[in-house]
Amino acid sequence: MTDISIEKMNASNILGVKEICDLSFSSPWSIDSLNKELTNERAAYIVIKLGDKIVGFGGMWTLFDEADITNIAVHPDYRGHNFGDIIVENLIKIAKELGATSMTLEVRASNTPAINLYKKHNFTIEGTRKNFYENPKEDGHIMWNYNL
């Protein structure tokens, strides 16, 4: 897989992002919500492409010296090929460029593959938000990387 590229999420690739949201999340973001992120000055979203196919995306908001990952997802057909690593690495790089020194996120307590991905990038579980997620109702772990 050598034809991998990273680009900013934009209006021309938002339908591919929406498809991945629908396949990945029990409460996916709407097209309207995704479009609003394009004009959110605190938001930074990227897509990862294999050739012309969007295979994953990730986004975050930055405020002062903190970045908050809002979502990361890889198309189910392309999981297990390190695309999640590439997305996290690129979000960390962008966060540093924007002046962030730490990064946080919430993840479903049962999402072991995602938790392991974040641990691989020096995130640690720092707390739990009870019933943070809907459909199904589930706790969310709060993870931090304090040393970007």
Tell me how far apart the terminal alpha carbons of the chain are, to the nearest angstrom.
28
Domain hosting residue 98, numbered range: 4-145
Query: Which of the 8 DSSP states describes residue 3?
Result: -
Please, are residues 55 and 75 in contact by the beta-carbon 8 Å criterion? yes
Which residues form the catalytic set?
A: 106, 118
Residue type, 113: P
- Assign residue 99 a region (left: φ > 0; alpha: ψ between -120 and 50; beta: otherwise): left
Both tokens of 11, joined, read 């209006």
Looking at the predicted structure, is the pLDDT value of residue 26 above 80? yes
CB atoms < 10 A from the CB of 75, how many? 19
- Say which CATH number the domain at 89 has: 3.40.630.30
pLDDT digits (tens, 9 = 90+) for 66-78: 999 999 999 999 9
Helix (H) or strand (E) holding 42: none
pLDDT digits (tens, 9 = 90+) for 76-94: 999 999 999 999 999 999 9
Tell me phi and psi for residue 120, to 5 degrees.
Answer: -60, -25
Q: How far apart are CA 147 and CA 139, in angstroms?
A: 25
pTM as predicted: 0.95
Q: What pLDDT sits at residue 1?
A: 60
Which sign, positive or negative, has the C-alpha torsion 15, 94, 68, 119? positive
Q: How far apart (Å, rounded) are the C-alpha atoms in residues 141 and 104?
A: 10
pLDDT greater than 70 at residue 130: yes
Q: How many domains does the chain have?
A: 1
Residue 82 has what DSSP assignment? S
Q: Which helix (H) or strand (E) holds 35?
A: helix 31-39
The answer on pLDDT for 2 being more than 80 is no
The CA-based angle 142-90-87, given to 5 degrees, is 65
